Amino acid sequence: MSIRTAAVPQPPAVTLLAAAAGITVTVAMAATTQRGVHDYGVAFAFAVFIAFGELIRVTLPGEREAAPLGMAGALAYAVLPAVGTEPAMHGALQVIAVTAVAVMVGLLPHAVAGRAPSMDYLARRMLTVAFAAILFRPLFTSQSGLADDPLLVTALMVGVVLIAGGCDAALAALVRAAHTGAPYRLVLLNELHALAGIGSAIGATGMLIALATGVMKLWAIPIFCIPLLLAQFSFRRYASIRATYLQTIRALSRITEVGGYTEPGHARRVSRLALAVGRELGMNDRALLDLEYAALMHDLGQLSLTDPIPGGATVMCSPRQQRRIAELGAEVIRETRAMDSVAEIVAAQTAPYRRSDGLIDPSVPTASRIIKVANAYDDLVSGSPDPARQEQALSRLHLGTVYEYDPRVVDSLAGIVDRAAYVVL
């Protein structure tokens, strides 16, 4: 059995998000076409900058698609106060239209290569930029005299950029919560934490470009994008190293399969189930990464056995033997001297949900409880696509929630197995 994402309709929240972005862009494009582009040269320069940023977009930890340069350019254009000595009097709808065209141009090579971003990514980008432009441009271009007060303009820019960053995190959390079923509050906190680093760099770069354009004109774009460009290359390198590290652990996790200790695909299936449960329970990115590593290597201790367990099903072993396998596996992981937290998760994976006195053991990590349930489920199903067998496995896990298994984890796993978004093969 394996769990994979099936081709199913998008959650309603994501569909509404895409619809809102589509309507916003359509209105902006129609209005800009009718009125014409104000200050075509400036619009073209920022469009090229945004398109280039989209062309070199990067995938951040947590499978987050991002285009730091493109977003910084769009924010800079949205809060641009002046070009040289001339005030920038373009409107919010022009910002949205220019950004939309630039994004489409920048993503065209990716689409041709089959790497087009998800619709919710595009919707988030456009709505965040639209939000910033709608907040800033009407106030700046009004007859209130705001453009004559540099300090007030700068304060407004800072406020708009901060609010736009919060808007982006809120929309990202909405999409992720809709896909995973995790509590929105927990997902939002995770998104704010995950996007804080790169988000602050994007906001600061956008503001620097917007402010410096008043002095350096359009030369400010290439000059002030260099630090963010270097930071983006560093993020890309980090993501590449992390992906290679994960692939290595996935390859090593197959040792037990190659040696005949576990069934083919067992570690991968347990990992996918565990990650799905972890996301639904609102675990953050760092915890999810440790969970994935631990789930992939949870059976390493079986290599110490003289005789393999039939089918590798540790759920059929005595509690003492289960603990020995877990502890031996944890010792192997500790030898790396780089994954102590993962070793602790593996060591505690056999601990019962309740102690002998009937109380919940607070020392057992949530990740360990998740792996315990996911491993037991896969051991009981044994790769069978028979719904009756899957139902029997879930029933047995539910019976074990009195003492052995965490009820929250079992309920979450049951929902994931039954949910149309996942298909059991």
Among 244, 278, 297, the domain boundary falls at: 244
Give the number of C-alpha atoms closer than 13 A to the C-alpha of residue 320, restricted to the C-beta side. 0
Average pLDDT across each block of 10 residues of the chain; the chain has 425 residues. List them in order: 49 88 95 93 95 88 82 94 90 96 93 84 92 92 69 90 92 87 85 82 92 92 89 83 86 85 88 92 88 93 81 80 90 86 93 85 91 92 77 91 92 82 39
Based on the fold, state whether residues 155 and 258 are members of the same structural domain.
no
Express each pLDDT in 194-249 by its tens digit.
777 788 889 999 999 999 998 999 999 999 889 888 888 888 888 888 888 888 88
Same domain, 146 and 290: no
Q: What is the value of pTM for the model shown?
A: 0.81
Contacts of 296 (CB under 8 A, 6+ apart): 249, 250, 252, 253, 267, 268, 270, 271
**pLDDT at position 135, please?**
93
List, in sequence order, every residue forming a beta bridge with 5; answer none if it has no partner.
422
Distance separating alpha carbons of residues 198 and 158, to the nearest angstrom: 16
**pLDDT at residue number 147:** 65
Q: Using CB atoms within 10 Å of the CB of residue 328, give its burial: 0 to 12 exposed, 13 to 18 middle, 19+ buried.
A: middle
Domain count, the chain: 2
Q: How far apart are CA 289 and CA 370, in angstroms?
A: 13
Output the CA–CA distances (angstroms, integers) from residue 228 to 341, 346, 382, in the order listed: 32, 39, 49
Domain termination residue (choose one: 244, 267, 284): 244
- pLDDT number for residue 417: 85
Assess whether 127 and 218 both reside in one domain. Answer: yes
For 240-282, how does the pLDDT look when each residue is reduced to its tens digit (9 = 90+)?
Answer: 888 888 888 888 888 888 888 888 889 999 999 999 999 888 8
Q: Select from 244, 268, 287 the last residue of a domain.
A: 244
